[in-house]
Amino acid sequence: MDQTIGQQLTQGNAVEPYTVAHLEMMRDRILKILNAQLQLNSSSDRTDATNPA
């Protein structure tokens, strides 16, 4: 994802600072959501392994 954002930013000659900040903020929010989801999945996997049905 970082590569795609970086490519978009370098392809344009004049990128608005707002656009750069907005893209970075969106990237950070997406990464935070994905990391939280991964943590939820890994904790539920451990719970399933320790408490078999």
pLDDT in tens, the chain (53 residues): 567 767 766 666 566 778 888 999 999 999 999 999 999 888 877 665 556 55
pLDDT score, position 15: 64
pLDDT score, position 25: 95
Token code pair at residue 1: 């994802």
pTM (two decimals): 0.52
Q: Which residues contact 4 (CB under 8 A, 6 or more apart)?
A: none
Q: Do the beta carbons of residue 29 and residue 5 sit within 8 Å?
A: no
DSSP 14: S
